[in-house]
Amino acid sequence: MLKDKIAARIPTVRVEEGAALPTFVAEPGDYRALARLLRDDAETPFDYLVCLTGVDRGDTLGVVLLLESTGSGQRVFVQTGVAERERPVLPTVSDLWETANLNEREVYDYLGIRFAGHPDMRRLFLRNDWVGYPLRKDYKIDGAVNPVPLESDESPDVTTVYREDGSEETRALFDETDYVVNIGPQHPATHGVLRFRTALEGEIVKKVDVHCGYIHRGIEKMSESLAYPQILALTDRLDYLAAHQHRHALCLCLEEALQLEVPERVKYIRTIMDELNRLSSHLLFWSTLCMDLGALTAFFYGFRDREKVLDILEETTGGRLIQHYNVIGGVSADIHPNFTRRIKEFIRYLPPMLKEYDRVFTGNVIAQERMKGVGVLSREDAISFGVTGPSGRASGWACDVRKRRPYGVYDRVDFDEILFTEGDSFHRYLVRLKEIEESLHILEQLVDNIPPGEFAVKTKPVIKLPEGRFFKSVEGSRGEFGVYIESRGEKTPYRLKFRSTSFPLVSVVPHLARGSKIADLIAIGGTLDYIVPDIDR
């Protein structure tokens, strides 16, 4: 047993049996040893860091890791914290899981915890001149301390590395002779306000430094002062192409915590909506990727077809991009009478269009040359970086939440999890095209079988979550989207963290782009298909 093994090796670790998952609580001194032990465990190596959350518990500042063993699917929480508030230091785990790199920078940004041994301890989302750490509970929102800045933020060319013994070292980000080009924040291929500082050698990319935060809205901070039904409105604004799926995740998490059983009809409707959302997202992916690679006509074809999905969504939910349809205990309105008919029409309409896509782009020799062998991501790296969704499946990692932790009615429908082992841009592209077909297949099975019944159950006017920690994830359009809630039994969450799908995708860009051409950087970014508001949150 895992618990016995840990008790034998690191006796100071406490085990808290939570509602669903066990939590290992470690002292800061043992935290790294525990993390290493879990990752290198022979039977169930916890190789996937799902979610790294920084929490201010009042007496301690700490982090919570949610780890998964991709082989068995077992999940555990690991928790640690320091009492020191002036200069809190925790050991880093960024060398164990690559995805911890940016996540620890996020924690540093929000809570001021310095991670000893982290190679690049800079702020990530907030400005460099921001005073204080907003997710600390003693942080006061004050316009006098942090006025609205009228000057642009200088990006320093150096970073700081903290050591266990408290010393610091300053490191340069780029060489003196590097030709550094800003790709973004205003750039057509970054699909939003994201910035890559790219060191070039001629056409070859030497290094990419990711700058986030241009669209940071502090959604996690806002959530701490909002009631649960109010928070629902924010989920749609994370990844606007997976609005429905993200809201679904939060609803599932809350319903599980409240032990609320939703009617069958709701499950069907939610599943159908999720798939429609996935279709619209993948069609947009296809369009924008073609545009990034210079095939402008293809862009219009994709948008022409995506329009039809949006029309279906609009009729029932009233929204085209931002849906606001899921509510706690159901959905906000019953489906439109045209809903099933139009879906059936669409299922007939799309397959010939997909053939056209193949003729226009997939089969094109230039398109294949541009994508094949470009930005190859190995399975190990995909897991280490936490690259889930179609991008992870192109590398051979079976990470589909719909298959591994079914929700909605996914356990009752027949669909294939598209897997490739090549891991290059072309297969990331293919996975999405094939997933469009699978989504149609899922819709086909569901659309005629929506059971009658209520579209929502009654909930209390004031929703209070029981004390504890809850995590629930769904398969978003571009990966595993999770909601982590720490509740102290109040009507607002104590800490709410969204496990973003795009954040790991953008963290892997420097790794994939190193040594490739500028044009490859665009192809890699295009096939990873990140959405910037989901990164910045």
Read off the DSSP letter of residue 32: H
Identity of the residue, 82 or 519, whose beta carbon is nearer to other proteins in the bound complex: 519
When binding is defined by CB under 8 A, the residue of 301, 339, 385, 410 that contacts other proteins is 301
In this structure, the number of other CB atoms found within 10 A of the CB of residue 141 comes to 11
* Residue 353 binding other proteins, by CB under 8 A: no
When binding is defined by CB under 8 A, the residue of 200, 222, 376, 457 that contacts other proteins is 200
When binding is defined by CB under 8 A, the residue of 12, 43, 179, 311 that contacts other proteins is 179
Distances (CA, A) of 390 to 158, 236, 398, 480: 35, 21, 10, 10
Q: How far is the CB of 521 from other proteins (least distance, A)?
A: 8
* Residue 532 binding other proteins, by CB under 8 A: no
**What track of x and - describes contact with other proteins for positions 253 through 292 (by CB under 8 A)?**
-------------------------------------xxx
88: left (phi over 0), alpha (psi -120 to 50) or beta: beta
Read off the DSSP letter of residue 358: I
Q: Could you give the 3-state DSSP secondary structure of residue 22? A: strand
Identity of the residue, 43 or 369, whose beta carbon is nearer to other proteins in the bound complex: 369
Q: How far is the CB of 300 from other proteins (least distance, A)?
A: 4
The residue range among 2-10, 299-307, 321-329, 387-395 that interacts with other proteins, by the rule CB under 8 A, is 299-307
* Residue 351 binding other proteins, by CB under 8 A: no
**What track of x and - describes contact with other proteins for positions 89 through 128 (by CB under 8 A)?**
----------------------------------------
Q: Could you give the 3-state DSSP secondary structure of residue 141? A: coil
Residue 317 CB partners (closer than 8 Å, separation 6+): 244, 273, 323, 324, 325, 332, 333
* Residue 300 binding other proteins, by CB under 8 A: yes
**What track of x and - describes contact with other proteins for positions 499 through 528 (by CB under 8 A)?**
------------------xxxx-x------
Estimate the share of the chain in helix, then strand, then coil, as percent rounded to the nearest 5. Answer: 40, 20, 40
Which residues inside 354-393 make contact with other proteins, applying CB under 8 A? 360-361, 364, 366-367, 369-370
Identity of the residue, 108 or 361, whose beta carbon is nearer to other proteins in the bound complex: 361
Identify the H or E element spanning 90: strand 89-91
Can you tell me the distance from the alpha carbon of 195 to that of 87, in angstroms, rounded to the nearest whole number?
30
> ∠459-464-468 over CA atoms, to 5°?
125
Tokens of 65: 């890791």
Give the bridge partners for 348, in sequence order: none
* Residue 187 binding other proteins, by CB under 8 A: yes
Residue 413 CB partners (closer than 8 Å, separation 6+): 271, 442, 445, 446
When binding is defined by CB under 8 A, the residue of 34, 243, 279, 295 that contacts other proteins is 295
Identity of the residue, 137 or 359, whose beta carbon is nearer to other proteins in the bound complex: 359
Q: How far is the CB of 350 from other proteins (least distance, A)?
A: 16
Q: How far is the CB of 525 from other proteins (least distance, A)?
A: 10
Can you tell me the distance from the alpha carbon of 190 to that of 103, in angstroms, rounded to the nearest whole number?
21
Identity of the residue, 174 or 299, whose beta carbon is nearer to other proteins in the bound complex: 299
**Residue located via tokens 């540093």:** 108
Q: How far is the CB of 509 from other proteins (least distance, A)?
A: 15
Identity of the residue, 15 or 518, whose beta carbon is nearer to other proteins in the bound complex: 518
Can you tell me the distance from the alpha carbon of 128 to that of 407, in angstroms, rounded to the nearest whole number?
41
Rg (the chain; Cα; Å): 23
Identity of the residue, 6 or 528, whose beta carbon is nearer to other proteins in the bound complex: 528
Q: Could you give the 3-state DSSP secondary structure of residue 370? A: helix
Can you tell me the distance from the alpha carbon of 55 to that of 59, in angstroms, rounded to the nearest whole number?
11
Q: How far is the CB of 190 from other proteins (least distance, A)?
A: 10
When binding is defined by CB under 8 A, the residue of 29, 71, 156, 188 that contacts other proteins is 188
Identity of the residue, 305 or 438, whose beta carbon is nearer to other proteins in the bound complex: 305
**CB burial string 49-78: b at 16+ within 10 A, e below:** bbbbbbbbeeebbbbbbbbbbbeeeebbbb
Identity of the residue, 292 or 400, whose beta carbon is nearer to other proteins in the bound complex: 292
User: What residue type is assigned to position 310 of the chain?
Assistant: L
> ∠8-12-14 over CA atoms, to 5°?
95
The residue range among 64-72, 130-138, 196-204, 503-511 that interacts with other proteins, by the rule CB under 8 A, is 196-204
Binding site for other proteins (CB under 8 A): 179, 181, 187-189, 200, 202-203, 290-297, 299-301, 304, 360-361, 364, 366-367, 369-370, 517-520, 522
